[in-house]
């Protein structure tokens, strides 16, 4: 029972994280890399 609870909880969170990651544009390209959007770090440098 404990094993099942732990497996379900953590795998549920892993699945949710994977789904959220797939929908994020910044997974493959950092907004900082895009000269159009700028970067807080770059602006103040």
Partner 1 sequence: MRGRAMVDLALFGFVAGFLALGLRRPFLWVLAYLYIDIVAPQKISWFLLASIPISLIAFAAAFGGWIAADDKRDSRFTLRQTLLAVLLIYCGVTTVGADFPAEAAEKWSWVWKALVFAIFLPLTLRTRLRLEATALVMVLAAGSIIVTGGIKTALSGGGYGSLRFFVNDNTGLYEGSIISCVAVAIIPLIWWLARHGTVFPPDWRVRAFAAALTFACLLIPVGTQARTGLLCIGLLGVLSLRAVRRRFLYLALMGAAGLIAIPFLPQSFTARMSTIENHKADQSASTRVAVWLWTLDYVKDHPLGGGFEAYRGNRLTVQTRDVEASGNTVAVEVDEVEDAGRAYHSSYFEMLGEQGWPGLALWLWIQVLGLWQMERLRRRWAGRTGPRESWQGPLATALQHAQLIYLLGSAFVGIAYQPFVLMLIGLQCGLWSYCRRIDSGRIVRRRDRPVLTPLAPPAIP
Rounded to a whole number of angstroms, the minimum distance from the CB of residue 28 to partner 1 is 7
Q: Whose Cβ is closer to partner 1: residue 3's or residue 36's?
A: 3
Told to check if 34 binds partner 1 by CB under 8 A, we report no
x/- mask, partner 1, residues 9-28, rule CB under 8 A, reads: xxx-xxx-xxxxxx-x-xxx
- 36 near partner 1, rule: CB under 8 A: no
Measure the CA–CA gap between 27 and 13, rounded to whole angstroms.
18
């Amino acid at each position: 029972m404990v094993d099942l609870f732990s497996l379900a909880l953590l795998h549920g969170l892993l699945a949710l994280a994977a789904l959220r990651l797939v929908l994020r544009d910044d997974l493959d390209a950092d907004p900082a890399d895009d000269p159009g959007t700028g970067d807080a770090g770059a602006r103040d440098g």
